[in-house]
């Protein structure tokens, strides 16, 4: 076999970023989760893992920030057909439940059953991710989830929490607070992920949210009530920057709220929509790509350890590869900083 040439051009058939890796020796193992059953607005994020994989070989592996961290190995598991098929089968039924709830507060007995079946299937997906993440952690590797909608990483967060005995915080970058107790009848939708996490017995010590600019009154109340949730609203961050504050100082303030072990949960819509035009629920405002990568670098600068992560809600728009391109570049930085903060 020819030696691997990092300046050469691999293809996605070789692996993520065009690199051949082994599931057994890679430092980071990525679980793709093509799931968007309860996605409420624009669809397509089930195609996120495929779009990111196909865009990934165009990245130059040489990187000024993360150096040759990739040599530790980033292995992406095959896209699981059973998850993809369950997603395709259930999505039209979830749409029926949502449409019925738009016209009435009550569901018919048939639709109540449908809703319960969908909630049960969401649990199956979470358990699927959980068991994979457990196995990865047992081998001393770091698990990452590539969604799919934002409900996809719940099992990964739970497995990571168990591995560090709850001694960790979550850095959550998103346009949305994701703290709804349920959304449109679904308890495990993308809009409830952080509520489900913060109400769980395995919850983190701290949830730090960044870039939030779309939330309900109830979510705002929960943020104000809970001392273990600190939210850096997008409007406050921007005001500070407009009035002469530095992004470094703001990132330092975020880092101060986090314990040493950090799980990063990154919804691509935390970025400005120009970086993710295909994502399902875009909101104006948000972080630039550079602010996001500087924020990730701040974890290393302040001595944190990235113990697991997810990237979700990347959704290809038509024939355009831009969403996958940005997603792949962000994933590359997340993998790199994970290696650099744990070795």
Residue ranges in contact with Mn ion by CB under 5 A: 174-176, 267, 269
With a CB cutoff of 8 Å and minimum separation 6, the contacts of 122 are: 37, 38, 151, 186, 187, 188, 189
- Cβ distance to Mn ion smaller for residue 142 or 287: 287
Rounded to a whole number of angstroms, the minimum distance from the CB of residue 214 to Mn ion is: 8
Could you tell me the two tokens for 91? 């999505």
Closer by beta carbon to Mn ion, 29 or else 51: 51
Residue 267 or 310 with smaller CB distance to Mn ion: 267
Q: How far is the CB of 269 from Mn ion (least distance, A)?
A: 4
Q: Among residues 36 and 267, whose Cβ is nearest to Mn ion?
A: 267
| Residues 174 and 269: beta-carbon distance below 8 Å | yes
Give the nearest distance from C-beta 236 to Mn ion in angstroms: 18
Number of residue whose CB is nearest Mn ion: 176
Q: Which H, E and C letters describe 22-40, residue by residue?
A: CCCCCCEEEEEECCCCCCC
**Count of H helices and E strands in the chain?**
10, 8
Q: CA-to-CA distance for 257 and 233, rounded, in angstroms?
A: 14
CA distances from 107 to 38, 89, 117, 186, 300 (A): 16, 21, 14, 13, 49
Two structure tokens written together for 128? 């699927």
- Number of neighbours of residue 227 by Cβ within 10 angstroms: 7
Question: Closer to Mn ion at the Cβ: 269 or 310?
Answer: 269
- Complex with Mn ion: residue 245 or 273, whichever CB lies closer: 273
Report whether 153 contacts 129 (CB < 8 A). yes
State in angstroms the smallest separation of the CB of 150 from Mn ion: 6
Least Å from the CB of residue 212 to Mn ion: 9
Please state the closest distance from residue 89 (CB atom) to Mn ion, in A.
Answer: 25
């Amino acid at each position: 076999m020819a030696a691997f040439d990092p300046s050469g051009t691999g293809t996605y058939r070789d692996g993520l970023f065009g690199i051949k890796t082994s599931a057994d020796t890679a430092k980071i193992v990525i679980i793709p989760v093509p799931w968007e059953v309860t996605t409420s607005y624009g669809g397509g994020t089930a195609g996120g893992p495929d779009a990111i994989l196909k865009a990934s070989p165009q990245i130059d592996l040489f990187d000024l920030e993360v150096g040759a961290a990739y040599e530790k190995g980033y292995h992406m598991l095959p896209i699981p057909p059973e998850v993809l098929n369950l997603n395709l089968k259930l999505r039209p039924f979830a749409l029926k439940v949502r449409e019925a709830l738009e016209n009435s507060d009550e569901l018919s007995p048939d639709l109540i059953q449908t809703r319960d079946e969908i909630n049960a299937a969401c649990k199956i997906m979470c358990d699927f991710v959980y068991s994979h993440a457990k196995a990865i952690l047992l081998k001393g590797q770091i698990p990452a989830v590539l969604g799919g909608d934002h409900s996809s990483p719940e099992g990964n967060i739970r497995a990571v929490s168990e591995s560090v005995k709850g001694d960790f915080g979550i850095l959550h970058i998103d346009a949305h607070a994701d703290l709804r107790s349920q959304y449109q009848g679904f308890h495990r939708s993308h809009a409830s992920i952080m509520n489900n996490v913060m109400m769980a017995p395995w919850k983190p010590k701290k949830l730090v949210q960044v870039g939030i600019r779309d939330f309900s009154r109830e979510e705002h109340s929960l943020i104000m009530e809970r001392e273990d949730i600190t939210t850096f609203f997008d409007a406050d961050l921007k005001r500070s920057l407009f009035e002469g504050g530095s992004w470094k100082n703001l990132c330092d303030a975020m880092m101060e709220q986090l314990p040493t072990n950090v799980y990063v949960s990154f919804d691509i819509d935390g970025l400005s929509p120009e970086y993710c035009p295909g994502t399902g629920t875009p909101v104006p405002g948000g972080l630039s790509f550079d602010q996001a990568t500087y924020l990730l670098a701040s974890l290393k600068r302040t001595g944190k350890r990235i113990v697991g992560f997810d990237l979700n809600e990347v959704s290809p728009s038509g024939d355009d590869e831009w969403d996958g391109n940005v997603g792949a570049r962000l994933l590359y930085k997340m993998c790199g900083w994970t290696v650099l903060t744990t070795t």
